[in-house]
Amino acid sequence: MDKSPYKDNYISQFDNLIVIIKTANQKMIAEPRDSFIYENANFFSKSFLVVMCAYLESYLKDVLMLVVDQMNIRLKENRIPYNLVKWSLNLEKELKDGDLKFENLKISIKRKELDDFISGNPYKTKTLFKKFGIDLESDKVFNRQKENINLIVVKRNKVLHHNDDASDISNLDIIRYIEEIRNYLENIDLLVCKHIA
């Protein structure tokens, strides 16, 4: 697998967001300018920033569920006894009857359960991916990208959680942020696909 089934959809969503931002920008500077867009420029900038990060977080959730699904396919094919794995993780501890399940091993993580762990913050993402067996920190591209992505997410968090006015960023900045996040997403997608290959 050279790309996840989600990659193109999210790249397309980012591209569509760029089109919307450029359209709003044109309406702000056109003569006569669109007074609604002009007077609410900061609201639109904040909204674009929030949406952009929401796309990133949705992608991360989708691609991690892909990992779960792929691992469950492998587990089902190989029929690994649940009890044997449970016992091997702690040989010194006696298993109680309530701990035993006479079934094959499967990963029972659900989409909703990932919500508390998903974050656009690359440092939190790195920690979560470790739990999936994916070492983002060993990737040179991730290490080059993580600080810029973190700055974008921190800015979004200030807008979302502290009602920051975002007056220090323009729509052109947001387009640049989208391009950085898109490159970040493409790299993560590549790393995930290598992991499940």
Q: The tokens of 72 are what? A: 């469950």
The pLDDT tens digits for 182-197 are: 999 999 999 999 999 9
81 strand-pairing partners: 104
**2 domain residue, yes or no:** no
pLDDT, position 33? 86
Is 164 part of a structural domain of the chain? yes
* Residue 92 confidence (pLDDT): 86
- Residue 173 resides in a domain: yes
In a domain, 89, yes or no: no
- Strand ranges for 16-161 from DSSP E: none
> Could you tell me if residue 99 is inside a domain?
no
The C-alpha atoms of residue 197 and residue 120 are separated, in whole angstroms, by: 25
Which of helix, strand or coil describes residue 104? strand
The pLDDT, as a whole number, for residue 167 is 82
Number of domains in the chain: 1
Report pLDDT for 163: 83
Domain that holds residue 143: 7-77+110-196
**How far apart, in whole angstroms, are the C-alpha atoms of residue 162 and residue 118?**
20
Q: Residue 2: phi, psi to the nearest 5?
A: -95, -15
Judged by DSSP in three states, 81 sits in: strand
The two structure tokens encoding residue 180:
């950085």
pTM over 0.75: yes
How many whole angstroms separate alpha carbon 151 and alpha carbon 120? Answer: 10
pLDDT at 82: 95
Residue 182, domain member (yes or no): yes
**Residue 100 forms part of a structural domain:** no
Q: Tell me what pLDDT residue 152 has.
A: 97
Which pLDDT score, from 0 to 100, does residue 58 have?
A: 98
pLDDT at 166: 79
**How many secondary structure helices (H) and strands (E) does the chain include?**
8, 0
Does any domain span residue 177? yes
Per-residue model confidence as pLDDT tens for the chain (197 residues)? 899 999 999 999 999 999 999 999 999 888 888 899 989 999 999 999 999 999 999 999 999 999 999 999 999 999 999 999 999 998 988 889 998 999 999 999 999 999 999 999 999 999 999 999 999 999 999 999 999 999 999 999 999 888 888 788 999 999 999 999 999 999 999 999 999 99
Residue 10 confidence (pLDDT): 98
How many other CB atoms are there within 10 angstroms of residue 168's CB atom? 9
